[in-house]
Structure 1
Amino acid sequence: MGLSKLPDSGKFSESLIAAGFQQSRFDYAVFTWTKGTSSIYLMIYVHDILIMGNDEVAIKGFKQYLHSTFHIKDLGLPKYFLGIEIARSYQGISLSQRKFALEIISKAGLSVCKLAIIPIEQNVKLTIVDYDAGISQETDPVLEDPSVHAQAEVVSHERCTESDYATCPMSRRSTTGLCIKLGDYLLSWKTKKQPTVSLSSAEAEYQAMAKTTCEMVWLRGLLRDLGV
């Protein structure tokens, strides 16, 4: 696994395809190469690439190919990538966003705030005016928009989706909440205001299901490209 400086993206993609890589149809920044039991996976982000695989010899040969084709710099084993800390042990690889979360808390000026299991009372729907008034009274602020509130109800082992109806007291828009698992592992989770005002709770539920379905189609296709 390694990080390298990325050359021109168009030329780089062409060189990967010429080397036998397949570009994912569900995420154009992901490339895969498979030969027998050997696999190499590439993820591109801006000027960096993340190289993963199960065959050290194949990865080493691929890096030599990149060095002979482009001017790149191998940064070695990654420790921090896209806000995710990467730690290794004999038991496997551990991914954590603790450092990223602490940086957000620090930038928001909340490093000295007291920890709370539930930062605000449940089911409270505040407007921005109410929220600002609470801050001025030196109450503990929260890191999320307090006008957004959603609860997730487990629908099946693979996916959870739920919506509320006209939760926001200002825009009257509903909120969609979803999470998708692969076995016991959480892959994707989102909470977002719906783009339009729903005329009924049923319409809000359908919007939530449509959003979850789109997310599942994308994840299933991406996992299939990765050989899962």
Structure 2
Amino acid sequence: MHFFIHGDLHEDIYMKKPPGYTKGQPGQVCKLLKSLYGLKQASRQWYDKFSQSLISFGFKQSKADYNIFTYITATDFTSLLVYVDDIVVASSSLTSISVLRNFLNTHFLIKDLGSLRYFLGIEVARSPTGIHLCQRKYTLDILADTGNLASKPLKIPMDQNPKLSKTSRTPLSDPTPYRQLIGRLLYLTLTRPDISYPIQVLSQYMDCPTITHLAAAHKVLRYLKNALGQGILLSAASSLQLIGYSDSDWASCPNTRKSLTGFCVFLGHSLISWRSKKQTVVSRSSTEAKYRAMASISTELTWLRQLLTDLAIPHPQSAELFCDNQAALHIASNSMFHERIKHIEVDCNLIRYKIQEGTLRTAHVTTQLQLADMFTKSLPSHLLYSHLSKMEVANIYSPSCRGVLE
């Protein structure tokens, strides 16, 4: 059971008198009768007050994510997620939710918005199949604001082997619309992993975008129109095994020759985490780039294990990590020192210790089955849709997915 509430904080806060205000004595301050949005102290005051209230009620704050609180008894489990003053509550007991609602109502002014359907631009649809997350309305707003509602849809978000660089054609006279568009599309990647790679590429040119970059961004918009309701399905029948895929594209950046890291993590069959990000250093070989990508996902898997522990979900088995480079797998599993990798930072060797302690297990996967491939390069349409199908990324508004809706 989920419900969504919105709360406001009311407590004594003081501020200095504004310039030109002469009433009162020197050194006196103004007492605010209500918290003001915009003050730099407001968010901290709200979070401190709210978190302390929850802890006094009996909630335990997660160490992996401070915005998550859990309340566990012998018979019930309640979890609470906080984002500023918007709160999502999930519980195995309606009684526990009612008790929590009454408690919060005595300390804060809250508004119960009922069952979770819309949260921070993310639409939530539930059924016996699972929970589907998408941003259809948010996508429609972007298309409307950019004048692309009537544009012709595309099958892929970016051309294969795009030739983009900082010197691509004429710079835009006003880069603000481009920056705003990329910022909005970055938020859309929360439920659209299929555009993570192109947005990662386009976000590199925020300082001086050109006509070519803007045209590439509009191609992403035309691709989004092809499936407005596409999003992630969190399967109700999924197992609780952490599975990761890591990949890299060696020296792919034309400006810095840095490699690109791409990975995705599943909880059973459900996609829960992914990333497409440029590496911070230049890798001297494709094997080194792959190894750095494996080290990056190993930290993500470690954090997810900690998060599962805070949510009272045991994960005693090793997390599985798949890579398509045999040399990188040998380096990760071999504890012997190699002169060829002596320049790699110590933190990259974290993956070795995870394998030795038994929390991580590596395995080889063929390039054709490497699901993280879509986070490092632009794929042809047939391969892109094949990977999305395996990730259970689907459009619930299509006729074949009507059963996902409540």
TM range (shorter): 0.7 to 0.9
Are residue 167 (structure 1) and residue 205 (structure 2) matched?
no
Q: Which residue of 2 aligns with 1:103?
A: 141
* 1:107, distance to aligned residue in structure 2 (A): 4.2
Q: Which residue of 2 aligns with 1:196?
A: 281
Q: Which residue of 2 aligns with 1:5?
A: 7
Q: Which residue of 2 aligns with 1:180?
A: 265
The AA in structure 1 aligned to 2:5 is L
* 1:194, distance to aligned residue in structure 2 (A): 1.2
CA contact (8 A) 1:3 1:78 kept: no
- In the alignment, structure 2 segments of 5+ residues that lack a partner are 10-45, 170-209, 222-240, 314-406
**Residues 152-184 of structure 1 deviation map (CA, whole Å, 9 limit, x = unaligned):** xxxx98111101111011121111110000111
> CA separation in 1, counterparts of 2:6 and 2:277?
34
CA contact (8 A) 1:6 1:49 kept: no
CA contact (8 A) 2:164 2:212 kept: no
Q: Which is higher, the Rg of structure 1 or of structure 2?
A: 2
Q: Which residue of 1 aligns with 2:98?
A: 60
> CA separation in 1, counterparts of 2:102 and 2:211?
60
The AA in structure 2 aligned to 1:68 is T
The AA in structure 2 aligned to 1:100 is Y
**3-state DSSP of counterpart to 1:176:** strand
> CA separation in 2, counterparts of 1:45 and 1:139?
33
Instruction: Single out whichever of 218-227 and 123-132 deviates more from structure 2.
Output: 123-132
> CA separation in 2, counterparts of 1:19 and 1:119?
48
Please give the TM-score of this superposition, normalised by the length of structure 1.
0.82
* 1:114, distance to aligned residue in structure 2 (A): 2.1
> CA separation in 2, counterparts of 1:188 and 1:140?
24
**Residues 29-79 of structure 1 deviation map (CA, whole Å, 9 limit, x = unaligned):** 000011122111100001211111110111001110111122333233332
**Residues 107-126 of structure 1 deviation map (CA, whole Å, 9 limit, x = unaligned):** 45443332222244423443
Matches within 5 A, 1:138-149: 141-143=218-220
The AA in structure 1 aligned to 2:302 is V
Please give the TM-score of this superposition, normalised by the length of structure 2.
0.48
Picking from 82, 85, 99, the partner of 2:123 is 85
Q: Which residue of 2 aligns with 1:72?
A: 110
- In the alignment, structure 1 segments of 5+ residues that lack a partner are 145-155
**3-state DSSP of counterpart to 2:78:** strand
> CA separation in 2, counterparts of 1:143 and 1:5?
37
Instruction: Single out whichever of 24-33 and 86-95 deviates more from structure 2.
Output: 86-95
Tell me the C-alpha RMSD between the 2 structures: 2.7
Cα distance, 1:123–1:47 mapped onto 2, change above 3 Å: same
Instruction: Single out whichever of 40-49 and 122-131 deviates more from structure 2.
Output: 122-131
Percent identical residues: 41
> CA separation in 1, counterparts of 2:296 and 2:107?
42
Matches within 5 A, 1:35-54: 35-54=73-92
